[in-house]
Amino acid sequence: MAAADELAFHEFEEATNLLAQTPNETTTRSDQLSPKGHVAVAMDSGGSYGAEDEVEESDKTVLLQEEKQQPGFWTFGYYQSFFDVDTSQVLDRIKGSLLPRPGHNFVRHHLRNRPDLYGPFWICATLAFVLAITGNLTLVLAQRRDPSIHYSPQFHKVTVASLTIYCYAWLVPLALWGFLRWRKGVRERMGLYTFLETVCVYGYSLFVFIPTVVLWLIPVPWLQWLFGALALALSAAGLVFTLWPVVREDTRWAAGVLLSVVVLLHALLAMGCKFYFFQPLPPEPMASPHQATSQPPATMLPPTLPRSVAA
Partner 1 sequence: MAEAVESPGDPGTTTPRPLFAGLSDISISQDIPVEGEITIPVRSRVREFDSSTLNESVQNTIMRDLKAVGKKFMHVLYPRKSNTLLRDWDLWGPLILCVTLALMLQRGSVDSEKDGGPQFAEVFVIVWFGAVTITLNSKLLGGNISFFQSLCVLGYCILPLTMAMLVCRLVLLAEPGPVNFMVRLFVVIIMFAWSIVASTAFLADSQPPNRKALAVYPVFLFYFVISWMILTFTPQ
- Judged by CB under 8 A, the residue of 97, 136, 235, 242 near partner 1 is 136
Q: How far is the CB of 311 from partner 1 (least distance, A)?
A: 7
Question: Smaller CB distance to partner 1: residue 290 or 307?
Answer: 307
Q: How far is the CB of 1 from partner 1 (least distance, A)?
A: 8
Q: How far is the CB of 207 from partner 1 (least distance, A)?
A: 13
- Judged by CB under 8 A, the residue of 14, 61, 129, 145 near partner 1 is 129
Q: How far is the CB of 47 from partner 1 (least distance, A)?
A: 47
Q: How far is the CB of 156 from partner 1 (least distance, A)?
A: 5
> Which residues, including other chains, have CB under 8 Å from residue 269's CB and lie 6 or more apart?
164, 168
- Judged by CB under 8 A, the residue of 11, 22, 57, 118 near partner 1 is 118
The reply to whether 87 sits near partner 1 by the rule CB under 8 A is yes
The reply to whether 195 sits near partner 1 by the rule CB under 8 A is no
Question: Smaller CB distance to partner 1: residue 26 or 87?
Answer: 87
- Judged by CB under 8 A, the residue of 85, 94, 259, 265 near partner 1 is 85
The reply to whether 214 sits near partner 1 by the rule CB under 8 A is no
Residues that bind partner 1 (CB under 8 A): 1, 76, 79-80, 82-88, 90, 118, 122, 125-126, 129, 133, 136, 151-156, 298-299, 307, 311
